[in-house]
Amino acid sequence: MLEYNQFNEPLVSVVIPTYNRPEYLKQAIASAIQQTYQNIEIIVSDNCSPENPQPIIESFNDKRIRFWRQQQNIGMLANQMHAFKMAQGKYVASLHDDDMWNEDFLAKLVPPLEENPELILAFCDQYIIDAQSEINHALTEENTQAYKRDKLTQGVYQTFAKIGLVDKSIPTAAACVIRNNIIDWDSIPSEVGGMWDLYLTYLCCISGYGAYYHPERLTRYRTHEQTDTMLSGSKDAQAKIRKAKSEIFCYKIFSQDERLKEFQPYFEQKCLEAHTTLAIGLLRNQQTAAARPYLWQALSQQKFNLRTIAALTISFTPRPLANQLLGISK
């Protein structure tokens, strides 16, 4: 029976959506299999990779792995949500196909949830690793501080909207275990795109349940050139446009939620910043006319923003010079 093992441990669903990362996928699956907490199912949902990863799955010879292959590429979010909806466990944990867990990740995050039914999630800190799986200690420390996990004490946070949505301390996509039955996976709209983890944090924040923080670094988050974060931060115009649209959608919903009224100014400011980001992406994509309305809106609702003013100025600059300023070679 999957639901309980000999130690009466509840089933945890490990969700691994994947696309075209066979070597990393092997490492991710191995880190799930090697968990000291053994009552798990591992759901691998492949988004129609050019090379079918089924041989990789079979090489583990582990009956706890459930494999699904999409017949066509349905997009990152749809594949992720499909995997979540397959989950049968009392708890669910997302593991990116290019990340890894320490072997005691589940062993340390599941017990607090079992001991306190008023908690919806438990999360931890994480290491940052490079493409070769080496820990980058400087970047790890920088990441911990950037998301203010260095300021958090271990234990229960009965309300955690600031931690989750302002400080963004909770890595729901990589270092978090969630009580499965509280989340309606169908309620996550497609417009959230790559910001699905922030939207999931939002659903957890407004659930009325609490969160638990374990300060150890129990997961390994990989940074490399093909992550969406890296792409959107570089000169990839389409990635920047996608991310900005997702941010605008999310922050509009957050700012309109009366339960989060105290954070409304922050959400509105983030929404305006995303307008500028979207405009910059459109400028890089040679869509000047489409970019300007976002810049005017951002400018009209902010007292002074140098980034927005600079982008608006570039939109009226002759194309050859504008391309140079935007770092476009053509």
Q: Residue 232: what pLDDT?
A: 41
Helices (H), the chain: 22-33, 54-60, 76-86, 105-115, 137-146, 161, 196-205, 228-233, 237-256, 264-284, 288-300, 306-315, 319-326
Q: Residue 302: what pLDDT?
A: 78
Q: Which of 80-84, 158-162, 227-231 has the lowest mean pLDDT?
A: 227-231
Encode pLDDT of 111-152 as tens digits: 999 999 999 999 999 999 999 999 999 999 999 999 999 999
305 has pLDDT over 90: no
Mean pLDDT is highest, among 145-154, 218-227, 309-318, for 145-154
% of residues, the chain, pLDDT over 70: 92
Q: Residue 2: what pLDDT?
A: 42
Q: In CATH terms, is domain 12-222 a member of 3.90.550.10?
A: yes
Encode pLDDT of 223-279 as tens digits: 976 554 444 445 689 999 999 999 999 999 999 999 999 999 999 999 999 999 999
162-166 contacts, C-beta under 8 A, 24 or more apart: 162/263, 163/211, 164/201, 164/202, 164/204, 164/205, 164/211, 165/198, 165/201, 165/202, 165/205, 165/254, 165/260, 165/263, 165/267, 166/263, 166/266
**Mean pLDDT confidence for 305-328:** 79
Entry pTM:
0.90
**Residues 62 and 14 sit within 8 Å (Cβ to Cβ):** no
What CA–CA distance (Å, rounded) separates 66 from 62? 9
**Residues 79 and 47 sit within 8 Å (Cβ to Cβ):** yes
95 has pLDDT over 90: yes
Q: Residue 3: what pLDDT?
A: 44
Q: Residue 315: what pLDDT?
A: 84
Question: CATH 3.90.550.10 region(s) of the chain?
Answer: 12-222
Q: Residue 312: what pLDDT?
A: 85
Tokens for 67, please give them.
């494999």
Residue-averaged pLDDT of the chain:
92
